[in-house]
Structures are given as structure tokens and as C-alpha cells.
Amino acid sequence: MKKLIITTALLAFASVSVFAQSSQTQAVPNAAKTQPQQQMTAAQRSERMAEHQSKTYAQQYKLNEDQTKKIHEACLDFAKAIENSRASGRQMTHAEVDAALNVRNAKFKSIMTAEQYKAYEATLAHSTPQPVPSGPVNVKKN
């Protein structure tokens, strides 16, 4: 009787282990469908970034088709500038990033209506990180 119980317990334990392993192997083919960012070329990464941004801006600011195409081109130019810097093996300085953003924002201003660009600027102002104060911080207790 003891042998039967022990054998049943071992068999149940082994079947649970096999079941757990099969669910992990099923997740691998789904992951293989999406191309990892490291395996994409610089042009593919730029296009993907521009596509994502232009779709987001089109939805957020209610752009028409012509505006969306032009915004996509501006985003693509910005993404290529970043990828060119990345390909050269160095990071862009803050001044270079700011210059590229200013060029992109100038293009956005010429493409968007005044109302759309005002909403875009409000989003930028809200998402711009505030400088962190240096030195000790005084905390007032109530």
C-alpha cells in the first residue's frame, strides 16, 4: 500500500513538472513573431519609432491624413538623427538633442493648426522634467 501511495505521488509530481514546462515552450513562438529591437537595422528602428509617434500624435491631436503623413516625415527625420548618432558609437549631447527637437517642433508648428500646436506645446510643458535642486532639501513638518 505504501508503494502505491509513493508511486502515485511521484507520478503526480512528475506530471505537474512536465505540464509546467510545456506552457513555457508555447510562449517562445509568440515571442519569436516580434522582432527584437537589437536585431533591427537602424532604418527599421527609425521607421518603427516614427510610425508609433505619428500614430500617437494623429490620435491625440486629431490630425487629418495629410497632416499625419507630414508629421510622420518630421518624426522620421528626428529618429534618423538619433539613429545616426547611435550608429557612430556616441551619444548625442543635450544641445544636439535640443537642436533636433527644435527642428522637429518647427516642422510640427508649420504642419499643425494653431489649436493643435497649442495642445502639443501644453503636453510638452507638462512632460518636461523639472530640474532637481542640488544640496540639502529642507522639509517642513506640519
Percentage of the chain modeled with pLDDT above 90:
26
- Within-domain flag for 26: no
- Within-domain flag for 139: no
CA distance 41 to 114: 36
- Within-domain flag for 34: no
Lowest mean pLDDT among 41-50, 64-73, 88-97, 126-135: 126-135
Q: Is 123 left (phi over 0), alpha (psi -120 to 50) or beta?
A: alpha
Q: How confident is the model at residue 74 (pLDDT cuts 50, 70, 90)?
A: very high
CA distance 97 to 135: 27
Q: What is the pLDDT of residue 116?
A: 92
CA distance 45 to 119: 27
Predicted model pTM: 0.60
Looking at the structure of the chain, the number of domains it has is 1
Per-residue pLDDT tens digits for 102-135: 999 999 999 999 999 999 888 888 776 656 555 5
- Within-domain flag for 1: no
Comparing 15 with 117, the larger pLDDT belongs to: 117
| Residue range 64-77: mean pLDDT, rounded | 92
Q: What is the pLDDT of residue 66?
A: 93
- Within-domain flag for 10: no
- Within-domain flag for 141: no
- Within-domain flag for 22: no
Q: How confident is the model at residue 36 (pLDDT cuts 50, 70, 90)?
A: low
- Within-domain flag for 52: yes
Q: What is the mean pLDDT of the chain?
A: 77
CB atoms within 10 A of CB 53: 18
Domain containing 116 equals: 39-124
Q: What is the pLDDT of residue 31?
A: 47
